Chain A
Amino acid sequence: MNLSFSTTACPKAELPEALEICAAAGFDKIELFRTWTESSPVHDDTSVPMVRDRLDTAGVTLTGLNIRNITGRKSDSDERNLGYNLRQVTWDMHLASALRLSSANTKGGQRTDEALEDLIEGVNTALERMEDFTLNLGNHAGNRLEGLDDFKAIMPNVNDRAKILLDTGHLLTAGEAILPFAEAFADRIGLVHLRDQKGETPVPFGEGDLPFDDLIKILTGAGYDGTLVIELEKVTWGEPAEAAATAREHIENLLAS
């Protein structure tokens, strides 16, 4: 397994600064967000070739991009319109591809039957449009993909190139047990976002409710050799680089033991 830095630790940092923080924290891999952070590859003052050049110059590999969600709805009017939404999502997938990725991370829409239908159709259509590309479907508190039952409803119905993004922070926020979730889908996990929390509050790794040891045993047992993204958020216990370095060391020690 390899470790990647998430820009959730420094959401206001533009890409050059985020790369400095990433390197200062001892990472050579990074994950970006299409929206939400200032290090977005579609930031006004950045072209995609510039993003590639900056990554190369910093010696940092991009491991993932969080793109827009498959909600089945128009983003400007909230009207149900899967076709419109899919044109946004596939544009983002092409953005990921231009950034030399062969996968992207997405989520669902509202917690309705309609959104579930659209998510299944949307995932399958998007993957048909882009061969050799994988979508990692992430759980998120309050999203159509929140917990175990939601994934049981969707995963049998979507293309094999749809994988699961197991996000520990959002499972903890939603009050979902992490280990049964990981065990149920161990062979279909495509990516892991690690965040430790006390209830809904992010805390330094090892101080919260996340059962790191058992989770890593499940992943190792299932042969998972992908990326573990260190996803710190709302860091109040130190500078982002320092907090991320401590979290990285915590996971490296677990993997070595």
Chain B
Amino acid sequence: MPYLSDDDKTFFRENGYLVKHDLLSEKQLHDALDVVWQNLDCDRNNPQSWIDAGPNHPRIGAEPAIRATLYESPVFPMAEELVGHGKLSSNTNPGPHFRFPTGETDWKMPTHGHLDGYYTPTNGVPKGTVGRFQVGASFYLNNVVHKGGAFTIWPGTHIQAAEYFKKHSLLTFKGGNANETFDMPDPVEITGGPGTVCFWHGQLMHTGAKNCAEEIRMALITRLTRKDNNELLFEFPEDIWANYDGIN
């Protein structure tokens, strides 16, 4: 029995993202949160200590409780339903991407996003390379509300990217900044409770919003690649879904 309906796939195809709720069990959330809190520089029981705390990216992706959120939940099978059964590599860990409360109230919807996989001086991507992947999955371990540092996407920009890269180098955008090149639609803030997952196309413009709420935005993000991704690094076929067996 598939997890995704035809309507789900159509929505992903047209918008470049798809949100599903309640994909993680209570035990998976409980175990993952225990690992998370053991690796934060703040007090789980003292919200005041969460303001501007850290780290934003604790190195816990390989912990069994964190990996379980991807591989022992419906998240990975759902991504496979988009890209094709048995087509995705399973050697990727979910990476924590936390946004701590700022303690501020001056919130605005983000105006600029980025494409992933591009070099910046601090993100570990080697200069002069671009990493590509087919599907990203951003999932929340806690409740992420409006103005709470939500994962934010620009629907449909995956189609603009696919068209653009047919005639331009992948390296064109410094830091993945395509804001001045793409016709940017209104952004969508992805909110939801624990276990909410946003699946997104690997070339969808996105960002994380400022966190003016009281909770830490506890998101895990994973970037899933096809097993033959190295052969597809530079390819932009006419049919942008040519390598998404579940959609094509």
Chain A positions near chain B (C-beta within 8 angstroms): 42-50, 68, 74-76, 84-85, 87-88, 91, 94-95, 97-98
Measured between C-beta atoms, what is the minimum distance from A218 to chain B in Å?
Answer: 37
Residues of A within 8 A of B235 (CB): 48-49, 98
Q: List 18 A-B contacts (CB under 8 A).
A: A42-B169, A44-B171, A44-B172, A45-B168, A45-B169, A47-B166, A47-B168, A47-B169, A47-B234, A47-B236, A48-B235, A49-B234, A76-B127, A84-B126, A91-B233, A94-B230, A94-B234, A98-B233
Residues of B within 8 A of A97 (CB): 230-231
Q: Which residue of B lies closest to A46 (CB)?
A: B169
Residues of B within 8 A of A49 (CB): 166, 234-236
Partner of B168, one of A44, A75, A95: A44
Measured between C-beta atoms, what is the minimum distance from B123 to chain A in Å?
Answer: 12
Residues of B within 8 A of A50 (CB): 166-167
Residues of A within 8 A of B171 (CB): 42, 44
Classify chain B: how many residues form its interface, as a range: 20 to 34
Closest CB pairs A-B (n = 5): A48-B234, A98-B234, A91-B129, A87-B126, A88-B126
Bound CA–CA A49/B165 (angstroms): 10
Measured between C-beta atoms, what is the minimum distance from A69 to chain B in Å?
Answer: 12
Number of A-B contacts (CB under 8 A): 63
Measured between C-beta atoms, what is the minimum distance from B35 to chain A in Å?
Answer: 26
Measured between C-beta atoms, what is the minimum distance from A33 to chain B in Å?
Answer: 13
Interface of B is mostly: loop
Measured between C-beta atoms, what is the minimum distance from B63 to chain A in Å?
Answer: 23
B128 at the interface (CB under 8 A from A): yes
Query: Given A42-B171, A46-B169, A95–B128 Cβ distance below 8 Å?
Result: no
Residues of A within 8 A of B130 (CB): 91
Interface of A is mostly: helix
Residues of B within 8 A of A85 (CB): 126
Bound CA–CA A213/B165 (angstroms): 47
- The 0/1 profile, CB within 8 Å of A marked 1, for residues 167-199 of chain B is 111111000000000000000000000000000
Residues of A within 8 A of B172 (CB): 44
Residues of B within 8 A of A68 (CB): 128
Bound CA–CA A1/B236 (angstroms): 35
Q: Is the CB of B167 within 8 A of A45?
A: yes
Measured between C-beta atoms, what is the minimum distance from B102 to chain A in Å?
Answer: 30
Residues of A within 8 A of B2 (CB): none
